[in-house]
A = this chain, B = another copy of it.
């Protein structure tokens, strides 16, 4: 077990603050084990006393709220959602392979995971506070302080009020049926299904109903898509929010040598929730011909979909190529080269895995 109770199967990108992705073995499970679930943080895990903890709701509301954990659990209906969280930097390694991205971690396919989240609907709390007419965004601030900003600031972000009022957005105190662990945001984290993980603010202490989007460093500078020749800065590029259609291969792994013959290929795909994964195709001849993979456990709109297919590999070198389709019949872009951006976000290119099939 690692420092924060995470499993040894994780790939650690940074110790301080702790940043680690889920290993391939754990990613192949429908629900990701809590101990194997990816961690993306911008500051040290804060020490929060759950007994003293309060959640303040203020800003463009009729009445401010100041809630204890006990009040939150007693005053509102408990809800549960199965939801995938996915970091905007998931699969960044594929972009770094095209051109280096200094200062950003080379996340593989494991900066994503799916869990059952238990808590109350943010919408129910907002309804009690009563958003005023000018309310258009809901901002969130955690207890964690990040030195990446100058001066140091707490992590935060916002989502549109329309999204905040949807039932799938939770204030969660439990993950996979167990109390939230400190590294995952205890005692309370926001869970915004279908949005980049950065919006699911951990160690939540403050909710601010606003007329404008969050102006903090992590929304206004960091999590933005820049043009290839762009420079990060306040408001530069486009803000990230919704998750894009994506997929990756979980087995076999890049560079594997396998016996020639039938080989099972497995992976995940995720379309973000407003759209669902409709089809996954696999090619072993460079995209000339495709076969449809079988879609596995359907965990609902807000969760990824695992898939599998058996392909027949002749002795020699092969490239396994995958493309997912969403319910609008949109599919993934062909190659990372067309997606490279200075901070390495949203690599949703078709995954490619090279393997060697050895003659039996």
Residues of chain B with a CB closer than 8 A to A335's CB: 334
Q: Is the CB of A228 within 8 A of B289?
A: yes
Are the CB atoms of B275 and A227 closer together than 8 Å? Answer: no
Tell me if A338 is interfacial: C-beta within 8 Å of chain B: yes
Q: Does A52 contact B (CB under 8 A)?
A: no
Number of this chain's copies in the complex: 2
A27 to chain B, nearest CB (A): 22
* Secondary structure type dominating chain A contacts: loop
Most chain B beta-carbon neighbours within 10 Å: one of A241, A289, A328, A333: A328
Contact status B225-A329, CB under 8 Å: yes
**In whole angstroms, how far apart are the Cα atoms of A243 and B243 in the complex?**
17
Docked pose: A210 CA to B275 CA in angstroms? 21
- Are A348's CB and B330's CB within 8 A? yes
Contact B244 A328 (CB under 8 A): yes
Using A227-B281, A338-B323 as known contacts, say yes or no to A241 and B333 having CB atoms under 8 A apart: no
Find out whether the CB atom of A275 lies under 8 angstroms from the CB atom of B242. Answer: yes
Q: Which of B241, B289, B331, B346 sits near A338, CB closer than 8 Å?
A: B331
Q: How far is the CA of A229 from the CA of B275 in the complex (A)?
A: 25
A270-303 contact mask (Cβ, 8 Å, vs B): 1 or 0: 0010110011010000010110100000000000
Q: Does A345 contact B (CB under 8 A)?
A: yes
Q: Give the contacts of A195-244 with B (CB-CB under 8 A).
A: 225, 227-229, 238, 240-244
Closest-CB distance, A87 to chain B (whole angstroms): 13
Contact with B along A318-360 (1 / 0, CB 8 A): 0000010111111111110011000001101000000000000
| CA–CA, A328 and B225, complex, Å | 10
The reply to whether B279 and A238 form a contact with Cβ atoms under 8 Å apart is yes
Closest B residue to A337 by beta carbon equals: B287
Contacts of A330 in B (CB 8 A): 244-245, 330, 346, 348
Task: Report yes or no: B339 in contact with A240, Cβ–Cβ below 8 A.
Answer: no
Other-chain residue from B241, B244, B292 in contact with A227 (beta carbon distance below 8 A): B292
Known: A225-B279, A240-B328, A330-B330. 20 other contacts (CB 8 A): A225-B278, A225-B329, A227-B281, A227-B292, A228-B289, A229-B289, A238-B327, A238-B329, A240-B329, A242-B275, A242-B328, A244-B326, A244-B328, A245-B330, A274-B274, A287-B338, A330-B348, A331-B333, A333-B333, A333-B334
Interchain Cβ contacts under 8 Å between A and B, 11 examples: A225-B325, A225-B329, A227-B279, A227-B290, A238-B329, A240-B328, A241-B327, A244-B330, A272-B328, A287-B338, A331-B338
